[in-house]
Amino acid sequence: MAFNPINWLLGLFSLDIAIDLGTANTLVNVRGKGIVINEPSWVTMDKRLRQPIAIGLEAKEMVGRTPSNVMVVRPLRDGVISEFDVTQIMLEYFIGKVHEQSVVPLPRPRVVIGIPTGVTEVEKRAVYDATMGAGARQAFLLEEPIAAALGAGLPIGEIKGSMVVDIGGGTTEVAVMSMTGVVASRSLRVAGDEMDEDIVQYLRNKYNLLIGQGVAEKVKWSIGSAFPLPTEKTMEVRGRNLVTGLPETIEVSSVEIREALSGSVQVIVDTIRDALDEIPPEIVADLMDLGICLAGGGALLQGLSDRLSDELKLRVWVAEDPLSCVARGAGMIFDDFDRLSRLLVGLERGSTRHSV
């Protein structure tokens, strides 16, 4: 983000932060500073005391190596807050870190926080309450695809349709927007985590090799793909042979991993096709110009945009820095709050702390 002296000055007297509370990663974007926190949404807890041991990156590194009294929690795993207390602990920790990073004492922040489309009123309230409970002065909710579209620079205020597909860890969100509203949307619990699981299953079935989720994720990053690569690759993978019980290293190819991922990729393709089926022809015509924008970490899967263009006959492009799109887009709300605050999601009546 370019340095803006006005924002910097404002930042001395107030604190505005945008949070992308993702199923895989949490990003915190501080107005005037940019993204200051980018860590996995993971917490390790002491099982008996229900106390956190580590949060963020440190917690993710512990995965697969924890003793029996330690449990690993991903409080947002499926895109909604399944563990309210842990979510609040995590938010408190990240907001606290923003305060720690400052040399001058900071006021309690105004917070814009992303929520998936189609969440229930109860879930919205849970996100709102967790944010307020974590020390926010005011909390505002913003639908993630709108944040992603803003972050990707899509013209969502115009009378033109655009489409964002945000592929995260736990969920894939497909949204078609026009005139700052969502025209059609789909939310799918098939995304990056499911792909990691596909790789674990594939290697177990084909080679009797048991690998951890963390290793599977690294295999996906290095040689995972959704479309034939210009030059196919191979990589060595370490695990335990399930027959002998002994450690083993095998060589796998990108062709094999593509086969492993094909089921999940196809589900994503079909869901987008489904959403396209539902939208008015005027918007389909707009999409022929604008194409489909991919955001979220899953957008980085090699060949995914080629595969989607091939199947959907539309141009498909990856947003710049897809992993930070939602956090950057949510932060833009503060840059023009009077005009853009109408994009925020209201909570239904009955809330005493309602501030939207």
Cα–Cα dist 101/78, whole Å: 31
170 forms part of the interface with Mg ion (CB under 5 A): no
Q: How big is the chain by its Cα radius of gyration, in Å?
A: 21
The bridge status of strand 25-30 relative to strand 34-40 is antiparallel
Q: Are 317 and 188 in contact (CB under 8 A)?
A: no
Q: What is the DSSP string of 214-261?
A: HHHHHHHHHH-BSS--SS--EEEEEEEETTT-SEEEEEEEHHHHHHHH
- Show the binding pattern over residues 294-313: x = contacts ligand ADP (CB under 6 A), - = does not: --xxx-xx------------
Task: Tell me how far the alpha carbon of residue 168 is from its chain's centroid.
Answer: 4
224 forms part of the interface with ligand ADP (CB under 6 A): yes
Q: Which is nearer to Mg ion, 252 or 333 (CB)?
A: 333
Residue 25 binding partner per list ligand ADP, Mg ion, none, with a CB distance cut-off of 5 to 8 Å that depends on partner kind:
ligand ADP
Q: Work out how close the CB of 224 gets to ligand ADP at its nearest, in angstroms, rounded to a whole number.
A: 6
Q: Are 294 and 165 in contact (CB under 8 A)?
A: yes
Q: Work out how close the CB of 75 gets to ligand ADP at its nearest, in angstroms, rounded to a whole number.
A: 12
168 forms part of the interface with Mg ion (CB under 5 A): yes
Cα–Cα dist 268/313, whole Å: 15
The bridge status of strand 110-115 relative to strand 16-21 is parallel
Stretch that binds ligand ADP, among 103-111, 134-142, 246-254, 290-298 (CB under 6 A): 290-298
Q: Work out how close the CB of 25 gets to ligand ADP at its nearest, in angstroms, rounded to a whole number.
A: 4
Q: Work out how close the CB of 21 gets to Mg ion at its nearest, in angstroms, rounded to a whole number.
A: 8
- Show the binding pattern over residues 151-170: x = contacts ligand ADP (CB under 6 A), - = does not: -----------------xxx
DSSP-derived 3-state class of residue 84: helix
Where in 167-196 is the site for ligand ADP (CB under 6 A)? 168-170, 192-193
Stretch that binds Mg ion, among 96-104, 162-170, 182-190, 237-245 (CB under 5 A): 162-170
φ and ψ of 94, to 5 deg: -70, -40
239 forms part of the interface with ligand ADP (CB under 6 A): no
Residue 177 binding partner per list Mg ion, ligand ADP, none, with a CB distance cut-off of 5 to 8 Å that depends on partner kind:
none
Stretch that binds ligand ADP, among 17-25, 92-100, 122-130, 279-287 (CB under 6 A): 17-25
Q: Which is nearer to Mg ion, 193 or 256 (CB)?
A: 193
Residue 24 binding partner per list ligand ADP, Mg ion, none, with a CB distance cut-off of 5 to 8 Å that depends on partner kind:
ligand ADP
- Of these, 323, 327, 333, 340, which contacts ligand ADP (CB under 6 A)? 323
Residue 224 binding partner per list ligand ADP, Mg ion, none, with a CB distance cut-off of 5 to 8 Å that depends on partner kind:
ligand ADP
Report which of 159, 73, 77, 177 is spatially closest to residue 117, judged by C-alpha positions.
177
Q: Are 256 and 228 in contact (CB under 8 A)?
A: no
Q: How many residues bind ligand ADP (CB under 6 A)?
A: 19
23 forms part of the interface with ligand ADP (CB under 6 A): yes
Q: Which residues of 262-275 are buried (b: 16+ CB within 10 A; e: fewer)?
A: eebbebbbebbeeb
Q: Which residues of 84-108 are buried (b: 16+ CB within 10 A; e: fewer)?
A: eebbbbbbbbbbeebeeeeeeebee
β-sheet bridge partners, residue 54: 44
Q: Work out how close the CB of 140 gets to Mg ion at its nearest, in angstroms, rounded to a whole number.
A: 17
Residues of this chain that bind ligand ADP (CB under 6 A): 22-25, 168-170, 192-193, 217, 220-221, 224, 296-298, 300-301, 323
